[in-house]
Amino acid sequence: MNTKYGIDAPYVVRNLFLFGFIALALSWPVFWIESPVWFWIAFSYAATTALTLLAFGVWMVYSAWVVKPKVLSRLLDKFALKEDEILLDLGCGRGLLMIEAAKRLTQGKAFGVDLWIGKDQSGNRMEAAWDNAQEEGVGDRIEIHTADIRSLPFPDASFDAVVSSLVIHNICQKREREKALSEMLRVLKPGGRFFLLDLHYGKEYAAFLNQTKQAEAACSLSGYYYCLPVRVVQGKKLDIETA
């Protein structure tokens, strides 16, 4: 169990446990109900509500600490990074995906950018990402920047690969999400590859990227291994001059 990368959506997790225990506490008065029928109706409702909320909270913690590291490691294995490639992680947080990539880039480098918003990940600080990179022995292959993924501080065609995990959906407006995707394409080299693991908008991402005529993208089916259903959008930036 790897706890050093924090918990995603910590306030959601907190509220699930808080309201779960409140529902559990409120179930005690049903024992004063004299009618057996109404007792079991009230008790079943209160207990079901409490257990559902607590179960979702436990699943989100388990997903962050156990499931997500395994899922991202498998995605990177399939991504088949070359040892000398330069990679960018959009919204690196405390560094899980960026560091796992850096382990495979023995002659390359992994860059990460984030705005360090605490509601998206517990303990979300640049210092935490640096500490984790040093602990994992890849500090010399890491470079981290504070930056908005809609306005990246890198020249055009800087990266061989771009990855992201559970980040872009945090941008509320579709137009702004498209800005982030456009920036991803801008900093990718022609022929560069990408994968985006995210909630809600996978089909939207793939459709937009294909519509730009600058990329080929495909969206996976929904997977339920991380609490809410997620999709993986994977593809490459087209080399227009040779296409």
Q: Assign 188 to helix, strand or coil.
A: strand
Residue 33 is predicted with a pLDDT of 60
Residue 200 is predicted with a pLDDT of 86
Beta strands in 53-170 (DSSP E): 86-90, 109-114, 142-146, 159-165
Residue 29 is predicted with a pLDDT of 63
What are the C-alpha distances in Å from 189 to residues 44, 86, 92, 150, 210? 58, 10, 20, 18, 17
Residue 51 is predicted with a pLDDT of 84
Residue 3 is predicted with a pLDDT of 75
Task: For 65-91, write each residue's pLDDT tens digit.
Answer: 999 999 999 999 999 999 999 999 999
Answer whether residue 215 shows pLDDT above 70. yes
Confidence of residue 48 (pLDDT cuts 50, 70, 90): confident
Which residue type occupies 216?
A: E
Residue 37 is predicted with a pLDDT of 60
Residue 243 neighbours by CB under 8 Å, 6+ apart: none
What is the rounded distance in angstroms from the CA atom of residue 229 to the CA atom of residue 225?
Answer: 7
The phi, psi pair for 75, rounded to 5°, reads -60, -40
Answer whether residue 144 shows pLDDT above 90. yes
pTM score: 0.89
What is the rounded distance in angstroms from the CA atom of residue 145 to the CA atom of residue 95?
Answer: 12
Residue 131 is predicted with a pLDDT of 96
What is the rounded distance in angstroms from the CA atom of residue 166 to the CA atom of residue 170?
Answer: 8
Q: Average of pLDDT values for 193-197?
A: 97
